[in-house]
Amino acid sequence: MLIIKTGLTWEHGIRYTATHMIPSSKKAENAVFAPLTGKAPLEQVVRRALTDEVLTTLRKAIVAGAFAPGDHVPETRIAEQLGVSRVPVREAMMTLEREGLLEFDERGAARVRNFTAADFEEIFTMRLALEPMAARLACRRLQSADVAALTENIRRMRKTSSLLEVTLLDVDFHDLIMQSARHSLLSVCWGNLGSLLRVWQARLHRREEGPKETKQLTVQGHVQIVKILQSGDGDAAAEAMRQHLVSWRERMPKDTWEGNVA
C-alpha cells in the first residue's frame, strides 16, 4: 500500500499511498452512479480527479528527490504501484512535461529533467520580473486574511526541522503574496513557474551545509517583507522583494551557474 518511500513527510501533500484513490467498495461505487441515467459524465469527473491525484503524487515525489535528475519514471510500474490504469499516469506525466519537470525521449519514455545554469538564470530573471510587481500590488490590496496566512506560514517555518518543509513553505510564502496581489494574468505567469521553482529550491537546499542558517535567513527575509507590505508603501515593498531575490541568488553555490544542479 506504500507507494514511494522518501523517508519524508509534510503537510503539503499525501503520504504516497493509493488507498484514497480507490473506491472503498463496489457498493459505494454503485451508490455514486445510481442517481444518474448514464455513467459517462460522472466517470469523466472521477477520471479527472484520479489524474489530479496521480499528478500530485508524482510532482511531490520529484520535488522530494525520490526521483533523481535523469531517472526514468516507468509508466507501467507507477500505475501498478498506485493501483490505477496507465491512462491517468500518462496524463499526469504529460502535465509534468508541460510544467518542465519531465522530458520524453524519442521512444516516449519519461525522465526527470536535469536543470542547468541557464535554467537557473531563466528562473531567477522571471522571479525578478514578476515578484516585485506582485509585492507592489499586494501592498495596495492587502487584507487581514492575507496577513494572517503569511504570518501562519512564517510560524510553521520557524517550527519545522525539515529542510524540505522549509523549501515548500518558502515557495508557499511567495504563492501567498501572488494571491494577495489579486492580478489574474500575473497569477497565470507565476503558476507556470511554481513547479520549477519548488524542484530547484529543493535541490539547492539539499546541497547546503547549514539548513538551520537557510531557515533563519528565510524567516528573517519574510518577516521583513510582511512588515513592509503592511506599511502600505508599494515602492518599498517592490524593492524589498527585489533585494530578497538578489540575496537568494547570492547565497547559491558558485557551480549553480556552471553546471547541472542534481
**Helices 117-141 and 234-251, packing angle to 10 deg:** 160
- Cell (9 digits) for 256: 549553480
Per-residue pLDDT band at 80 (split at 50, 70, 90): very high
Q: Could you give the angle at the alpha carbon of 166 between the alpha carbons of 165 and 168, nearest 5°?
A: 65
Report the CATH architecture of 117-257: Up-down Bundle (1.20)
Domain boundaries, the chain: 19-112, 117-257
Average pLDDT over residues 126-136: 97
- Cell (9 digits) for 124: 531567477
**Which tens digits make up the pLDDT trace of 106-118?**
898 999 998 888 8
Tell me the pLDDT of the chain averaged across its residues. 81
Q: How far apart are CA 136 and CA 131, in angstroms?
A: 9
**Which tens digits make up the pLDDT trace of 93-109?**
999 999 999 999 989 89
Report the CATH architecture of 19-112: Orthogonal Bundle (1.10)
**Does this chain's domain 19-112 share its CATH topology with 117-257?**
no
**CB under 8 Å to 42, separation ≥6 — which residues?**
32, 33, 36
Q: Which amino acid is at 50?
A: L
pLDDT of residue 97: 95
Element containing residue 10 per DSSP (H, E): none
